[in-house]
Structure 1
Amino acid sequence: MDETDALDALAALSQESRLRLFRLLVTCGPDGLPAGEIARRMDVPHNTLSSQLGQLSRAGLTRARREGRSVIYAPDFDGIRALLGFLMKDCCGGPAEQCNALLDRFLRPDCTTHCQPACGDRS
């Protein structure tokens, strides 16, 4: 990730409702949530939600997939890892690879098991 990409990601998170949206999706893990359920939980109009999701997606922090007639939004853990890696690049006196264990511990792509109960059933 370069500085411009990091600034885009940080700008996407710098608005209160987008930050809340991002945190909701991270809580739900890789399974994500349908757009309608996100709008209901956040109590925002669909057009507002669409704009917010678009900004997070363009910043590389979320991704969407189609399941039947639903569009499911989930965190993009690769993008989140890239942002955190960029922010921590100079930690530990410079050897960023020493920070990888920390990133791996907190950004496990298999977090469905511990994330799902907080998100709840999306059926």
Structure 2
Amino acid sequence: MESNTAVSALAALAQDSRLAVFRLLVQNGPEGLTAGVIGEQLGLPAPTLSFHLKTLAQAGLVSAVQEGRFVRYRAEVTAIHALVAFLTENCCGGDLNRCLPKE
């Protein structure tokens, strides 16, 4: 992952509503949710939700698929795995035993 891609993803997640949307989509797995259900569950009005979903999509963290009159959103789990891998790439200087919690 490129540094600018990581910064974009982190910036997209650095807002309460967007983080809540992303976490809700992760919880629902590959089935994802329609925008209406997301808005209902999080109490977000449609224009606000649309803005947040667009930001997450631009960062590559969610994808959208048209299903008739509805749009279904899914978390891009591979993108978040790539972000975590980028953030922990040199964890503990490559010695993972140093990263384990002390008992």
Work out whether the TM-score is over 0.5: yes
Which residue of the partner structure matches residue 6 of structure 1?
6
Which residue of the partner structure matches residue 16 of structure 2?
16
Q: Alpha-carbon deviation of 1:89? A: 1.1
Which residue of the partner structure matches residue 87 of structure 1?
87
Q: Deviations over 1:33-89 (max 9, x none)?
A: 001111111111111000000111111111111112210001001211111111111
Matches within 5 A, 1:75-114: 75-91=75-91, 93-94=93-94
Aligned length: 96
Which consecutive residues of structure 2, in runs of 5 or more, have no partner in the other structure? 97-103
Q: Which amino acid counterpart does residue 75 of structure 1 have in structure 2?
A: A
Higher relative contact order at CA 8 Å, sep ≥6: structure 1 or structure 2?
Answer: 1
Which consecutive residues of structure 1, in runs of 5 or more, have no partner in the other structure? 99-123
Matches within 5 A, 1:19-38: 19-38=19-38
Q: Give SS of 1:66's match.
A: strand
Q: Give SS of 1:83's match.
A: helix
Larger radius of gyration: 2
TM, length-normalised to structure 2: 0.86
In structure 1, how many angstroms separate the alpha carbons of the residues matched to 2:9 and 2:42? 21
Which residue of the partner structure matches residue 99 of structure 2?
none
How much identity, in percent, do the aligned residues show?
49
